[in-house]
Structure 1
């Protein structure tokens, strides 16, 4: 897939899947704007992109649980570009502990704010830039935990709540933005292995149905959906679990 000339914004890109997607997008020619809670973490990834592919990359600090920094992030990107072609809502806090008492109130509040409110506010403040694009896409990395009666994850109930709220928002957003030609694509993967996108054989070893889902497979789904003609609206990817 060729992303030359397209501007991609990725939240939570300081590590893991967000970082992997940012590096890969740079190799495909995109201008990549990455955010992380720590500006240093985001800048490190932006520098990696430039060294890896020579693509244009810029870094921003954004704590998705803090509305002021979400607004500042959008304002910073607006000062940098006149449009956003692809917005990837990847950032969200993961919280462990199956028992409700396993986390304190602040951790619970932060988890729901980053995953649910953070996604909603990010789309809200980036919407003018998305509307300025002739072919805008919003990609949401949700979770299988948002599915009905999915009890496989040992995540805290607050994470389940955040992802369920994110899924509900994605559903109505897709319906309401479709008349404008803005596609909303949501992925609901179970836990998957990150791998190392700097390695030339990253996640390319032969795989079988019994192997855990890899970041490369999730990334391939994102690129597949983005590469479809504009009359093709793929609303969601749901993954079969072992």
Structure 2
């Protein structure tokens, strides 16, 4: 039988109805992990991901909800823990990326991004870390886009939130390393959507490899960070971007 390094584990992947989130869910399932699939509005897409997880031989639970709403996160966490007991692998992938000049931005615009991209990481970590601590094993994997870390033109809240995620991840990695829990950030580069059949030539030309990444490229890194093989990797931001930043 193929080795399943994550057999007996459960993962929660926010924003896993499509693209990078779906690919991460499937990679973790193929490694043996059960998966809690999340989406904010497209339940059909989340159900499709869950069916793919089951086809990979793992259990799946669809938990719909807005990751910017603490009440939704509490409800999702309760459902996940009721079914699986613990969530061992937390992947914070959900995000909002509105583009607007800074001086035209409203308070609602600001908080709409911060709630999903930063506060959700706080709330999900508080929800699932106790179970990880009890088992002396856990993985927290947060997503932060390349441009968000560099500084996002007409995307101030995105940059601010993702810098905050990086700081929070480093703090968690320091506090919980002694508990067998790692916390890392993946910073994707320019990734082709799963429905695209070819690269955007203009975007691909800016990447040293000459081609855009695919969701599976990010998912493969997430699966590694979730695995026992990555037990000595924590507090790191790992860029998966074809060499676009060095």
Alpha-carbon distance in 2 for matches of 1:229, 1:89: 21
CA RMSD of aligned residues (A): 2.6
- The 1:195–1:154 alpha-carbon spacing in structure 2 relative to 1, beyond 3 Å, is farther
* Paired position in structure 1 for 2:224: 224
Alpha-carbon distance in 2 for matches of 1:48, 1:220: 17
Match of 2:51 among 47, 50, 53: 47
Q: Give the aligned length.
A: 229
Match of 2:9 among 6, 11, 34: 6
Instruction: Using structure 2 for the length normalisation, give the TM-score.
Output: 0.82
* Paired position in structure 2 for 1:121: 123
Residue range with higher mean Cα deviation, 22-31 or 74-83: 22-31
- Using the TM superposition, give the Cα deviation of residue 32 of structure 1 relative to its aligned residue in structure 2, in angstroms: 0.9
Gaps of 5+ in 2: 198-206
Q: What are the residue-to-residue correspondences of 1:161-180 with 2, within 5 Å? A: 161-180=160-179
State whether residues 166 and 237 of structure 2, in contact with CA within 8 Å, keep that contact through their aligned partners in structure 1: no
- Using the TM superposition, give the Cα deviation of residue 24 of structure 1 relative to its aligned residue in structure 2, in angstroms: 2.6
2:183 matches 1:184: yes
Match of 2:91 among 88, 103, 106: 88
Alpha-carbon distance in 1 for matches of 2:7, 2:231: 21
Instruction: Using structure 1 for the length normalisation, give the TM-score.
Output: 0.83
* Paired position in structure 2 for 1:79: 82
State whether residues 28 and 223 of structure 2, in contact with CA within 8 Å, keep that contact through their aligned partners in structure 1: no
- The 1:228–1:236 alpha-carbon spacing in structure 2 relative to 1, beyond 3 Å, is farther
Aligned residue for 1:122, secondary structure, equals helix
- The 1:168–1:34 alpha-carbon spacing in structure 2 relative to 1, beyond 3 Å, is same
* Paired position in structure 2 for 1:24: 27
